[in-house]
Chains A and B, each alone.
Chain A
Amino acid sequence: MNAPLLWIALPFITGVLILFFLRERYSALAGGGLSAILALIALIIPIDTALLIGSISLKISPSIQFFGRSFELNTADGPLLAIIFGIATLWFFGTEASGTANRFVSLGLMIISLLTASIAVEPFLYAALLLEIAAMLIVLLLVPAYQKPGRGVVRFLIYQTLAMPFILFSGWMLAGVESSPGDLSTTTQAGTILGLGFAFLLAVFPLYNWIPMLMEENSPYATGFLLWVLPTFTVIFALGFLDRYAWLRTSPQLASAIQFAGVLMVASGGIFAALQRHIGRMLGYASIAETGLLILIMGLKPSEIVNLTFLILIPRGLALAVWALALSIIKRLAYSLRFNEIQGLARRYPLAVIALLLAQLSMSGFPLLAGFPARLAIWQELAAQSLGITVWVFAGSLGLLVAAIRTLAVFVMVDEEKKWGLNESWVQSAMLGLGVIGLFILGLFPQVLLPFMVNLPSLFDHIGQ
């Protein structure tokens, strides 16, 4: 068996087969089942280590050659693959509850496989090309055939396409910087081009205007998936740059620039979220604020970066899945998701509303919920470094909290005579219930993440040690 074939080729081919041959009712089961199996294999069977099961010797070889370059997934990638395919399982099973078509599962599997290829490809720089190809598949996921594409989708495509040349060029220039580190002008140029590339990819302020647009124009479930999957792999790609090039880690100017960009996103995302009257756009701004936190972490001490990043990425995947699922259930009734259309829905869709609010609170860093332990650790690090930055990060979290309180107020705004009713289906109730339990477990017992996280630093040679 071969790791790239198992975690890249198999999901891609399955995605294609589901798209053309499988009926809608079985696609969630097939996609979710395959993702769960791949997550379990990644968790249980170490890559590149021979296992003896009875008389059978089993070994997953780590690499494959493709057009003269290699795709490698090593032992250290195991926990990362388990996390990625584990969270993907939730998203794929959720399609059944959200009522999205089998397009989601098939395209989702293809996107996940391409993005897994982006962490496996050597030289790692080529990941920029795979991210671009994945972004194009995301466009197909966002726009169903019967819907006219909005401005958000077009901007998303433009920004993702602009990112790729910047990153490929900067990678070529960085090789030059490595050979002559004293050349300040080349270093500055390479840093600027790299920064621009990641600004487009991660939708750094002010390039994030497409996110709230997408949340308003497109399916919240598909957009939520995009907001989980793309920043997750982009951040891992960015960590690869930090790990590979020593001057990126050690440059105080770059660390300041990264922190400034991160703070700007956290604060603006939180404040804008508090001012919205559309619960879809609120999710968009909350994800912007969280991406800001991930960027902020990259400017911290190199030894803390990997642990803090994954401490935030795992709950983010769960919270976004729950939030997007609840939104898509509510959107069936209140199409525009504006405040005036969702008033009093707490009595008609109580489970969806509770799940939505808990996910929203989790992403604002509310105690006892999944997002809190990560934020506590980040606040602790930030407070030791700069009080000013900490205050702005708190302001962002406060904005998200205000947004959650406003949402709650609108959901319960109804006549006293209105009767309570449970209108969610049992699949929806089960998926929302599992998600909410997961949010509480990750909030109350964050140590459950330890088995996944203990080996993640070995993914990176320098920043993880």
Chain B
Amino acid sequence: MTNEIISWLSVGLILATSATILINRDWRVSLGSLAVQYIAVFWLVSRHLPFVMGSVKLIAGWMVVAALGMTRLGLTNLDREEEDTFWPRGRWFRIILIMIVALVTAGATPRIEAAIPGLGLPVIAGGLLLIGAGVFHLGVTSDLLRVILGLLTMLAGFEIIYAAVESSILVTGFLAVTNLGLGIVGSYLLVAGSTPLESGEDL
């Protein structure tokens, strides 16, 4: 019973953090929310995987947050980075988006539980919320850091659900490498272009 309550609290935490990442423009708040989000992900993953394998996701996630945070901290010229203005991107628009994700999750969760029994309602709800929030985030931004945040959010949602159906150590390891890789690639892309040209390579 306690576990069930904590699981639903984790879903609530996921909703709050993914909404914050989607709505808030401050990168510090977004990365902080991502770090908190990984705690909820850890709990939901641990419903189906051993504690040690779940903690791999938590540690990998926090390492990604640290890498992105350290990189972003060193960049000073990105505060007024221009975003693609083609798509609507106001705060209310994003709030509506996260509400749509929450509604779709609420509608789809019992149906998925009926189709694939044994996953658990909180696991499905948490996974769907993150996948939805991540995909919507990718749809409304062209900012590099936000794209990486969207991909990490989407992957975290996928990992929660996939952990329930696949418990291989190799897959857990590869998914951790994928998360770390996204963090490193994101950091690299953030700093790329800010260093001066040293040689005439890669023409």
Instruction: Decide if B202 touches A130 in the complex (CB within 8 Å).
Output: no
Q: How far is the CA of A161 from the CA of B134 in the complex (A)?
A: 12
User: B192, A126: Cβ atoms under 8 Å?
Assistant: no
Interface residues of A in 311-366 (CB under 8 A from B): 328, 331-332, 335
- Is residue B82 within 8 Å, beta carbon to beta carbon, of the partner chain? no
B-contacting 9-mer, from A132-140, A284-292, A375-383: A132-140
Q: Are B192 and A328 in contact (CB under 8 A)?
A: no
Docked-complex contact A145 and B195, CB < 8 angstroms: yes
Give the interface centre of B162, B198, B200, B202 by most chain A CB atoms within 10 Å. B202
Chain A nearest CB: distance from B52 CB in Å?
Answer: 13
Which residues from chain B contact A162 at a C-beta distance below 8 Å?
154
A128 to chain B, nearest CB (A): 9
State whether B192 touches A148 (Cβ < 8 A).
yes
Q: Which residues of A contact B199 (CB under 8 A)?
A: 101
Q: Find the B residue at minimum CB distance from A175.
A: B165
Say yes or no: B195 contacts A136, CB within 8 Å: no
A-chain residues with CB within 8 Å of residue B196 when the two chains form the complex: 146
The answer on a CB contact under 8 Å between A146 and B198 is yes
Q: A101-B201, A146-B193 are in contact. Are A126 and B155 (CB under 8 A)?
A: no
B142 touches A66 (CB 8 A): no
**A contact residues, total (Cβ < 8 Å):** 43
Interface centre among B171, B197, B198 (most CB of A within 10 A): B171
Which chain B residues in 165-203 approach chain A with CB under 8 Å?
165-166, 168-171, 173-175, 177-178, 181-182, 184-185, 188-189, 191-193, 195-203
Contact with A along B124-168 (1 / 0, CB 8 A): 000000010000001000101001000100110010001001101
Give bound CA distance, A158 to B158, whole Å: 15
Chain A residue nearest in CB terms to B186? A157
With known contacts A68-B170, A130-B174, A144–B189 Cβ distance under 8 A: no
Q: B189, A68: Cβ atoms under 8 Å?
A: no
Partner-binding segment picked from A77-85, A164-172, A249-257: A164-172
Q: Is the CB of A151 within 8 A of B192?
A: no
- Residues on the B chain within 8 Å of A99, using CB: 200-201, 203
Which of A100, A145, A151, A161 is close to B182, meaning CB atoms less than 8 Å apart? A161
Contact indicator B170/A67 (Cβ below 8 Å): yes
8 Å CB contact of B185 from A68, A136, A148: A136
CB <8 Å contact, A100 and B202: yes
Q: Report the separation of the CA atoms of residues A165 and B138 in the bound assembly, to the nearest whole angstrom.
A: 15
Say whether B138 contacts A101, CB under 8 Å: no
Residue in A101, A133, A140, A165 whose CB lies within 8 Å of B174: A133
In the assembled complex, the Cα of A169 lies from the Cα of B164 at a distance in Å of: 11
Among residues of A, the one whose C-beta sits closest to the C-beta of B162 is A168
Contact A133 B178 (CB under 8 A): yes
Instruction: Check A154 for interface membership: any CB of B closer than 8 A.
Output: yes
Interface of A is mostly: helix
Give the total number of A-B pairs whose CB atoms are below 8 A apart.
Answer: 111
Render A113-135 as a binary contact track against B, CB cut-off 8 A, 1 for contact.
00000000000001001101100
Give CA–CA (A144, B193) in the complex, Å: 8
CB pair B151 A158 closer than 8 Å:
yes
Q: Which residue of B lies closest to A169 (CB)?
A: B162
- The reply on A109 being an interface residue by CB < 8 A is no
Contact of B192 (CB < 8 Å), options: A144, A222, A331: A144
Q: Which residues of A contact B144 (CB under 8 A)?
A: 149, 154
A57 at interface by CB-CB < 8 Å: no
Chain A residues with CB under 8 Å of B142's CB are 151, 154
**Min CB gap B76→A, angstroms:** 16
Given the complex of chains A and B, what is the CA–CA distance between A162 and B202 in angstroms? 28
Residues on the B chain within 8 Å of A151, using CB: 142
A172 touches B166 (CB 8 A): yes
CA distance A173 to B185 in the complex (A): 31
State the CA gap A157–B158 with chains docked (Å).
17
In the complex, whether A153 has a CB less than 8 A from a CB of chain B is yes
Q: Considering only CB atoms, which chain A residue lies closest to B181 in the complex?
A: A136
- Of all chain A residues, the one with the shortest Cβ separation from B150 is A158
B201: chain A residues at CB < 8 Å are: 24, 99-101, 103, 144
Residue of A136, A148, A161, A162 with most chain B CB atoms under a 10 A cut-off: A161
Residues of B within 8 Å of A68, CB to CB, are 168-170
Interface residue A64 (Cβ < 8 Å from any Cβ of B):
no
A147 interfacial by beta-carbon distance below 8 Å:
yes
Selected from A66, A153, A168, A172, the residue in CB contact (under 8 A) with B170 is A66
CB atoms of A154 and B174 under 8 A apart: no
- Quick one: given A169-B162, A172-B166, are A219 and B189 in contact (CB under 8 Å)? no
A153 touches B189 (CB 8 A): yes
Whether the Cβ atoms of B193 and A148 lie closer than 8 Å is yes
CB of A143 within 8 Å of the partner chain: yes
**A154 to B201 Cα, complex, angstroms:** 22
- Cα A222 to Cα B201 with chains together (Å): 12
A418 within 8 A of partner (CB) = no
A108 to B174, CA, bound (A): 20
Tell me, rounded to whole Å, the shortest Cβ–Cβ distance linking A214 to chain B.
13
Known: A161-B151, A168-B162. A129 touches B192 (CB 8 A): no
4 more contacts with CB within 8 A, not counting A100-B202, A157-B147, A157-B151, are: A126-B170, A132-B181, A146-B195, A154-B142
A: which residues have CB within 8 A of B? 24, 66-69, 99-101, 103-104, 126, 129-130, 132-133, 136, 139-140, 143-149, 151, 153-154, 157-158, 161-162, 164-165, 168-169, 172, 219, 222, 328, 331-332, 335
Subset of 13 A-B contacts with CB under 8 Å: A68-B169, A100-B201, A101-B202, A103-B201, A126-B174, A133-B178, A143-B189, A145-B188, A145-B192, A146-B195, A157-B147, A169-B158, A331-B203
Q: Which residues of B contact A (CB under 8 A)?
A: 131, 138, 142, 144, 147, 151, 154-155, 158, 162, 165-166, 168-171, 173-175, 177-178, 181-182, 184-185, 188-189, 191-193, 195-203
Across the A-B interface, give the 3 residue pairs with the lowest CB-CB distance, nearest first.
A148-B193, A101-B201, A129-B174
